[in-house]
Chain A
């Protein structure tokens, strides 16, 4: 249940939005000039990191506008929201804190352990 700050309407509940997957995946200018592999990467292949990620959202039950967001997939923290066409901020600018709501460890999953002092 994220709270998403639509750049046109303001903060709204996640239920009003639809996620559109990874952002900044450009459609090849001349599709006939790319090989099958390059084309399939455009159509099918997306990064799926545990961490900071560029993604698209659309305010489906609102202004119907698409926009971009930078979200930490491990914490669901939305670090930045910007309109289509604006220059994407560099991911490096954000600290990847890699924590998750269920209290999982930094890497992998399961209950965390503390070494004996």
Chain B
């Protein structure tokens, strides 16, 4: 129960609400308001993980999103989440977390042997070692490296949580709720702008929550709370905590995730875990603050060594001491705030300051409180394996190249400060080319390229006065561009400590003859020696140094390490930092869980499902469905224990013998109207359309402009200037887009309108020798004789009171009709046909039987119109008009398309008349030829012929027509089959097409 490092006062936690949680299998307690990090520190736990490469023990460094080390695995099973940042995880009852990248435990890690072998694993080790043989990479090297240097473990089960997406628009988006953020939001809101204020922490206020400042006559925290209340009461303001704006995209598209569930103890069932906000902001104010940089010295990565600002934050926000014997190591004044907080809570810190002196008020206050300060001193090295136990402190010599004397000072934590780095990520993502500020030795935003304005310490102004001024002024300025109301609010007066200059010295020299490891990038285990090595090996561009050493490439994206790395490169190369440049800042600013990005588009919500009006009938009649694009179509109607093949055979045979009915609703239907409709069809189809009589349908082929066959279907002339076009199911959307393009862009002079009517009509194909008999029953008043209703005829009819369109067209190759009625009468039509057809032995047939029927007839479909074939390849050259231009015609005149040896569609049957030929098999002359075996063609579609009761396939074969009668082999290495086949005509059944005309 004891939280040995918890103070009795301080912090925004509820000491009355104790919370239990588990870390590495052991139970601990914290308080409501804690993060996992602050609760662990309250229990005296610094050791939370092992470093990526050398498995060195690691502890907390920061207190917020900059934390590089404390990556933990949360929970178990489907809910497990890898790489959670302990400083960002709010404590809830029953939280379970464990350390990553260690085995068997974080305190005894077998992989730590890498640390002792580290001279064998320098930068670029993987590139140099695991080069050959190539075949070893996938099976041997990669799995070993993954195991040894892994992060967390991804869950193997589907995510049980819900995630949602939200779209929002606003005038001004303010990112971050520190003094400048709150000030600008207030100023913009008062000026009438629609404002969204986003804060990634649970509490608003940023630095005001921890700094000893006054605004007006209030403390910083009081002013922040009051301002937040004021903003919440304004109807034009949306104010969100736990919301991280992580990406700045084109045209001021901002993307943010909001944590909506994990912090709630017993959430409602349908509470989403996170929400992803897409915010289109007219103006963006970036007030993201700044991140403290660590200092670099020997063994600076031991648990217990952390940022001074983090130490202060743990005291002020959580009432937690990070240690009771602190050493504070700094090159600037801000770390003295931490010293003062320690002192006030009864702890005596030792401050080690590399500067000769400082005149800042913070330093004066520390001196007055009796804090022990060693100026001109530095920490050279540290000791302690699982927790820092002492600091080796020495006086720096004059040129700071070494130490005059070294002493060992026992301690249980070292709080370091190497000055502050503005958080410029969002500004940089927006296209702002950063500039280097010599005074603070960091990059700050320069020229905005979108409607982005960076304010406060993110813009390099580290005083409260400047941040408030910046906030109020810019908040007014950007809002006034939009509202023009001229309501200006003045910044309040403020009082804060003064800070003296910092000293640009951050990388401590090694004591003589010592080779201590000095860490630059904590998460990716990059040390000073690695960067030196990279430069010795000739890497010059900072982007190359980054990739070779992996500096700044971890999940923390180098928030604490990038600038130190850059300064190091510039020092070694004797260049100025702006000359070295910086690596690219890319979204996301902090890791985003994949579930949030995916949102509700999972499972069946991934894409819409389209169902025909007769879907419920199919379901009731044991249809097994298949995806056809977005459509669900019956593949076959199962009877008893039938297999797919047996059912398709039965259904197909019934069409050939009696009559079948097939749902063809999914076929694309396009209504074409206007005085130039015939001329338009004449241009998009390859054949002639001007003379098609009213009441007649015609088969048409469409090409792409490059000559490749695009789609086929029948189009019917309903009246002089009105056509009904059908397309394949797959291409329906594309054909409409194709027609729109040519009408609007290429031939705007044509007076034609096109409209999709696919979903307006329910369609049924009635096919088989007995279909005429059935039609007679359906339309008793109509002359359905071959003369009265010939092949390719069309009639507008009345189906027992329902208007119907009847077409005499056929895909199955049998005598067939297609009946269309308005969608809401689909079931009526279907059931009527089934009832009246009962005496003729009618059976429904699915897409499998449909395919069988068309394949053995040699009708082409999507497997032949595959985006590679031209009309002559498919024996459709008869469809090409010579008398007119059409889309794609000119392309057919090119050399390769005129080659007489091109592939042609043929039929193929296995010589044994038993073996089905797998689709996709290659046709070759000699099955035993050396690889690669010269390919003559491929099998495009296979079926079991119902007519001949043996397998039959369509193939696209080189010089196909000349090879009829030849024996070849169909090879399918995938199915390990080689089948002797005979080439036959593609029109296997009824080659003269007599049945459709009968």
Contact = CB atoms under 8 A, between A and B. Distances in A.
Given A32-B885, A44-B706, A111-B543, 17 more contacts: A3-B251, A3-B252, A18-B737, A31-B885, A39-B890, A43-B706, A56-B745, A58-B740, A66-B744, A76-B250, A84-B745, A84-B748, A99-B449, A101-B430, A101-B431, A110-B541, A110-B543
A68 to B, nearest CB: 9
A103 B428 contact: yes
Given A3-B280, A39-B890, A85-B748, A111 B431 contact: no
Q: Which 10 A-B pairs have the closest CB atoms?
A: A31-B890, A1-B253, A111-B581, A3-B251, A101-B431, A66-B744, A114-B578, A1-B249, A76-B250, A66-B745
Chain B: interface secondary structure?
mixed
A87 interface: no
B554 interface: no
A116 B581 CA distance: 12
Interface in B510-545: 541-543
A100 B576 contact: no
Interface string A51-66: 0000010101000111
Interface in B218-275: 249-253
A115 B575 CA distance: 10
Interface residues of B, number: 43
A34 B449 contact: no
A75 B541 contact: no
Interface stretch (B28-36, B298-306, B582-590, B593-601): B582-590
A17 to B, nearest CB: 12
B579 interface: yes
* Residue among B250, B575, B583, B893 having the largest count of chain A Cβ atoms under 10 Å: B250
B433 interface: yes
Contacts of B253: 1, 3
A48 interface: no
A29 to B, nearest CB: 10
Interface in A26-50: 27-28, 30-32, 34, 36, 39-40, 43-44
A43 B890 CA distance: 10
Interface in B736-766: 737, 740-741, 744-746, 748
A104 B278 CA distance: 26
A31 B895 CA distance: 16
A111 B583 contact: yes
A114 B579 contact: yes
B428 A64 contact: no
Interface in A94-117: 99-103, 110-116
A102 B251 contact: no
Interface in A70-99: 75-76, 84-85, 99
B586 A102 contact: yes
Nearest to A4: B251
A112 B430 contact: no
Contacts of B250: 1-2, 76, 101
A83 to B, nearest CB: 10
A100 B890 contact: no
Interface of B: 249-253, 278, 280, 428-434, 449, 541-543, 575-576, 578-579, 581-584, 586, 705-706, 737, 740-741, 744-746, 748, 885, 889-891, 893-895
Most chain A CB within 10 A, of B449, B745, B894, is at B745
A112 B581 contact: yes
Contacts of B579: 113-116
A20 interface: yes
Contacts of A64: 740
Contact of B251 (A2, A20, A114): A2
B194 to A, nearest CB: 16
A10 to B, nearest CB: 13
Interface in A1-33: 1-3, 13, 18, 20, 27-28, 30-32
B278 to A, nearest CB: 8
Instruction: Report the contact-size class of chain A (Cβ under 8 Å from the partner).
Output: 35 or more
Contacts of A18: 737
A75 to B, nearest CB: 7
B431 A103 contact: yes
B638 to A, nearest CB: 38
A32 B431 CA distance: 48
A31 B889 CA distance: 8
Contacts of B891: 39, 43
28 contacts: A1-B251, A1-B278, A3-B253, A13-B280, A32-B885, A36-B894, A36-B895, A43-B706, A56-B745, A58-B737, A64-B740, A66-B740, A66-B745, A85-B748, A103-B432, A103-B434, A110-B541, A110-B543, A111-B541, A111-B542, A111-B581, A111-B584, A113-B579, A113-B581, A114-B578, A115-B579, A116-B575, A116-B576
The SS class assigned to the A binding surface is loop
B744 A84 contact: yes
Contacts of B433: 99, 103, 112
A28 B278 CA distance: 44
A65 B579 CA distance: 49
A43 B748 contact: no
A64 B745 CA distance: 12
Contacts of B434: 103
Most buried by B among A20, A27, A102, A103: A103
Could you say which of A1, A32, A64 has the most chain B C-beta atoms within 10 Å of its C-beta?
A1
A57 to B, nearest CB: 11
Contacts of A99: 431, 433, 449
A78 B582 CA distance: 28
A71 to B, nearest CB: 11
A13 B253 CA distance: 10
B693 to A, nearest CB: 29
Contacts of A112: 433, 581
A105 to B, nearest CB: 10
A31 B703 CA distance: 15
A34 B585 CA distance: 50
A53 B458 CA distance: 35
A86 B607 CA distance: 37
A55 B249 CA distance: 21
Nearest to B889: A31
A102 B150 CA distance: 29
B890 A76 contact: no
A100 B431 contact: yes
A113 to B, nearest CB: 6
A47 B894 CA distance: 23
B581 A20 contact: no
Nearest to A56: B745
Given A1-B249, A66-B740, A66-B741, A32 B578 contact: no
Contacts of B741: 20, 58, 66
B890 A34 contact: yes
Of A2, A56, A75, A101, most buried by chain B (CB within 10 Å of CB) is A101
A30 B889 CA distance: 11
Interface centre among A18, A43, A65 (most CB of B within 10 A): A43
Nearest to B450: A101
Nearest to A97: B449
A20 B891 CA distance: 20
Contact of A75 (B449, B705, B894): B449
A60 B894 contact: no
A3 B430 CA distance: 15
B746 A27 contact: yes
B447 to A, nearest CB: 9
A102 B586 CA distance: 8
A1 B541 CA distance: 30
Contacts of A2: 250-251
A104 to B, nearest CB: 8
Contacts of A111: 541-543, 581-584
A75 B431 contact: yes
Contacts of B894: 36, 39-40
Contact of A65 (B251, B430, B576, B744): B744
Contacts of A31: 885, 889-890
